[in-house]
Amino acid sequence: MKFPVDLKLDEAKPEDFDALLLPGGVINPDALRIEPKAVAFVKAFFDAGKPVASICHGPWTIIETGAARGRRMTSWPSLKRELTNAGADWVDEEVTVDRNLVASRKPEDIPAFNAKMIELFSQVGAPGRAARR
């Protein structure tokens, strides 16, 4: 399925967004992780301590930013080795939360993923939020 783009990557500024959702599937995350501007965009969220949600193969882009190192996270099972090699503590759980990152494995995990993502994203601007950056 294709959707029209309402803002091109060249025009998008991380400071204009409060949170980021990295898509699952194989094609989109694979295309994002080899696009330097997309990797820089994602890295800016981690550098700023903004919330990020990632499901399935979405962590491929996180690996490219260097932000997987030292995080406890999950993903589609085939990314286990890549995440471990990138310094992450990979676990086989339906959802993980580590600082500003929520991650899930697969479509069946979406209810738990959505609940944790909403919880994390709702903290944007909350008192004490800046202290975690």
Q: What is the largest CA-CA distance in the chain?
A: 40
How many whole angstroms separate alpha carbon 98 and alpha carbon 78?
20
How many whole angstroms separate alpha carbon 114 and alpha carbon 78?
22
Place of tokens 């500024």: 13
Using only the alpha carbons of the chain, give its radius of gyration: 14
How many whole angstroms separate alpha carbon 38 and alpha carbon 23?
13
Place of tokens 């286990």: 80
The tokens for 31 are 């295309």
Query: What integer pLDDT is reported at residue 129 of this predicted model?
Result: 45
Please tell me the pTM assigned to this model.
0.90
Q: Does the annotation count 57 as an active-site position? A: yes
Q: Which of 20, 38, 41, 57 is catalytic?
A: 57
One-letter-per-residue 3-state SS of the chain: CCCCCCCCHHHCCHHHCCCEEECCCCHHHHHHHCCHHHHHHHHHHHHHCCCEEEECCCHHHHHHHCCCCCCEECCCHHHHHHHHHCCCEECCCCEEEECCEEEECCHHHHHHHHHHHHHHHCCCCCCCCHHHC
Query: What integer pLDDT is reported at residue 127 of this predicted model?
Result: 54
pLDDT truncated to tens, each residue of the chain (133 aa)?
778 889 999 999 999 999 999 989 999 899 999 999 999 999 999 999 999 999 999 999 999 999 999 999 999 999 999 999 999 999 999 999 999 999 999 999 999 999 999 999 998 875 554 433 3
Place of tokens 């949600």: 53
